[in-house]
Structure 1
Amino acid sequence: MLSIPEIASQIVNKALVENKDDCERTIFLVGSKSVGKSTMFSSFLEKNDVPRETLVLEYSFGRKTVNKQSIEKTICHVWEYGGKLNTLDNVLSSVPGQGKYYFLVMVDLSKIKNIWNVLETCIAAMNETYADSANKPELILIGGKYDIFKNYDNEIKKIVCTTIRSVALASNSHLIFYSAKEPQLVKRAKEMLYSIGFGNGYHSKEKNTNFAKPLVVPKGSDSWESIGVAPSTMDKIKARHLARITPEAEAAADTAVAKPQLTHPELVLDSLASAKYEELRNMEAVNASVNEYLLALL
């Protein structure tokens, strides 16, 4: 017969296993280069450091006591991928999706010729990686650099918004537009990240489908009739988009590279860091080393 401490231990362990998903969240963010992914995460995690360029994969976390009646904290695991999109599937297979899992794809609205490639590559990698997974992440699409996009020609904005809304509807995902330079959009993004990182998921009361304003389209709230196109698969959406916007050559995409910031008191450390950054930038692929890289982070 079990003693009282042993019975108590079993009860506690069972409760911990059952409640693990309620105490952990995972957010994985990927998308266009230099679109503001790190800046958005820094705002969410309330970091004061100026974000640096993400070359491969970075991990951070947030911890909050959501329920004032409890001492138990909710942990949000935050992963940001800044490497080549054609190796994303290999990275995803190595990332532990703990608790409720969210997959965020951020496209640069100011680079309209690259939007389709980013959307298609990232969503395909997610679908392929988690095709047989019981913990398939919930998808959220984010249109970044809206402060630039809002000044584009109305016809261009309509085409891009129609495409992104169609992709969101076809993939059953949320959609929001964002800019680090517009306080209202920063606030909206922080509320979204907080709700998925420490709450019970994204449940926006806002909605806007007018392409003249920043889009906010919660999952399940849109329709093909509202978008103004026939029900479409991803292939049909792609054909319609590329017929109107010619994609940029792959070799010319994502060429802008920021220099690493000087962050160490000793110049020799900054020199070594700069050399390592340059080495990572020149890597043709990270397939062989990504698992070792992830293990080193954990």
Structure 2
Amino acid sequence: MCSKKSLPLHSCDTLWDLAIAEVEKRENPDDDDVKPGEVWEKSILFMGNKNGGKTTIILRCLEREESPKPTLALEYTFGRRARRPNTPKDVAHFWELGGGTSLVELIRIPITSHNIRSFAVVLVLDLSKPNELWTTMESLLQVTRNHVKRVLTKLERTNPEVAAEIKEGIWNDLRRDHPDYALVDPFPIPLLIIGSKYDIFNFTSKSEALLLKARAVINHLAFGYDKSKSVSVDPSKPLFIPAGLDSMSQIGPPPASDSDLGKMRANTPLELWKKVFEKTFPPKSFCDLQDTKDPVQDSQYAEYEVDAMRAQKNQELEQYKRNASKSWKEMDFDSS
């Protein structure tokens, strides 16, 4: 991730001096990770609920006026931006995992030891499906975490310095004096969680403003744009909480009676929140979340010649099955 070095400022600086320094910093950023003339290259994997809005977010980030289409499996696109005029354009690789949790093993394709240092994950959770939310989040993040750990283990053998740098970097957003420091098990690579379809719960739609805010954070991950410094923890409004700027004491206990909380066995605050959440919204099983629809039957992928040939092959297969079944039944097996 690209860090910006600011010019030294003194207490005697005027507002004009501060403005000049800010302009100079933006026009001539001193990037620690990118040398002059070098291309910045990042990768982001979008995953989450099926039909949760991942494609819409990607299109808005890339400023593409297209109608989103359902993602079949694992799709790829890219965007290019120049940090400054007359400089090489940086590249951001956007991967999107379709099918909810049914195709989670495909994450092994985009996340490799070659790009792990510049990789980030965006998890998009559909707020209109609370009964799927926690199961989807837990399944996708656990599989991704395990895969990233395997990649880092492999990287420790081939490039231990880079592996150590990645492991140290995951703590950058959390100060050692943070009250929850001992409780936190940070995700091994940058992670952004977006709750989509928030506007469904409001009489006045705020989807446009929320998309712009999500776009700003994703642009930071993809192109090194400055981080948003805004924070919103008011539960009556859309939450916006950068990593490291909340705490369990600020969040408070789950909304349940003391007697109910006392009956729940949990080793961590997160486990306690999970139990209360799932009591309110009984989760769907992992099998229920599997996408059983056959993409071959999807009308958006219809092609006459291909479909006609497939129908013929299906008929041949069924005839083969009947002949094979008949021949097996007619065989006289030795029972001795």
Superposed pair shares fold, TM > 0.5: yes
Q: Number of aligned pairs? A: 224
- Please name the residue that 2:59 is paired with: 42
- Please name the residue that 1:195 is paired with: 220
Match of 1:92 among 85, 107, 110: 107
Matched, 1:143 2:184: no
Q: Deviations over 1:9-64 (max 9, x none)?
A: xxxxxxxx975996111110000011111011111112222111001010000011
The Cα of 1:245 is off from its aligned counterpart by 2.1
Alpha carbons of 1:205 and 1:269: their partners in 2 closer, same or farther (altered >3 Å)? same
Alpha carbons of 1:255 and 1:204: their partners in 2 closer, same or farther (altered >3 Å)? same
Q: Deviations over 1:171-190 (max 9, x none)?
A: xxxxxxxx8x6211121122
The Cα of 1:241 is off from its aligned counterpart by 2.1
Cα separation, 2, equivalents of 1:270 and 1:199: 46
Match of 1:240 among 276, 293, 296: 276
Which amino acid is the alignment partner of residue 106 of structure 1? V
Bigger Cα Rg: 2
Which amino acid is the alignment partner of residue 127 of structure 2? L
Cα separation, 1, equivalents of 2:284 and 2:60: 31
Alpha carbons of 1:91 and 1:254: their partners in 2 closer, same or farther (altered >3 Å)? closer
Cα separation, 1, equivalents of 2:232 and 2:73: 34
- Contact persistence 1:76–1:197 (CA under 8 A): yes
Aligned to 1:243, what secondary structure does the other structure show? helix
- Please name the residue that 1:218 is paired with: 242
- Contact persistence 2:80–2:91 (CA under 8 A): yes
Match of 1:61 among 78, 102, 126: 78
- Contact persistence 1:33–1:254 (CA under 8 A): no
Matched, 1:72 2:88: yes
Percent identity over paired residues: 26
- Please name the residue that 1:209 is paired with: 233
Alpha carbons of 1:71 and 1:18: their partners in 2 closer, same or farther (altered >3 Å)? closer
Gaps of 5+ in 2: 1-32, 153-162, 167-187, 255-266, 311-336
Which amino acid is the alignment partner of residue 122 of structure 1? L
TM-score (norm 2): 0.58
Cα separation, 2, equivalents of 1:73 and 1:86: 36
Matched, 1:33 2:57: no
Which amino acid is the alignment partner of residue 94 of structure 1? I
- Please name the residue that 1:165 is paired with: none
Cα separation, 2, equivalents of 1:226 and 1:233: 13
Aligned to 2:124, what secondary structure does the other structure show? strand
Cα separation, 1, equivalents of 2:229 and 2:290: 35
- Contact persistence 1:25–1:197 (CA under 8 A): yes
- Please name the residue that 2:40 is paired with: 23
- Please name the residue that 1:186 is paired with: 211
Cα separation, 2, equivalents of 1:75 and 1:128: 27
Q: Deviations over 1:80-133 (max 9, x none)?
A: 000351541x32222145352110111110111111011101110121011142
Alpha carbons of 1:22 and 1:192: their partners in 2 closer, same or farther (altered >3 Å)? same
- Please name the residue that 2:124 is paired with: 106
- Contact persistence 2:97–2:107 (CA under 8 A): no
- Contact persistence 2:126–2:196 (CA under 8 A): yes
TM-score (norm 1): 0.65
Cα RMSD after superposing both structures:
3.4
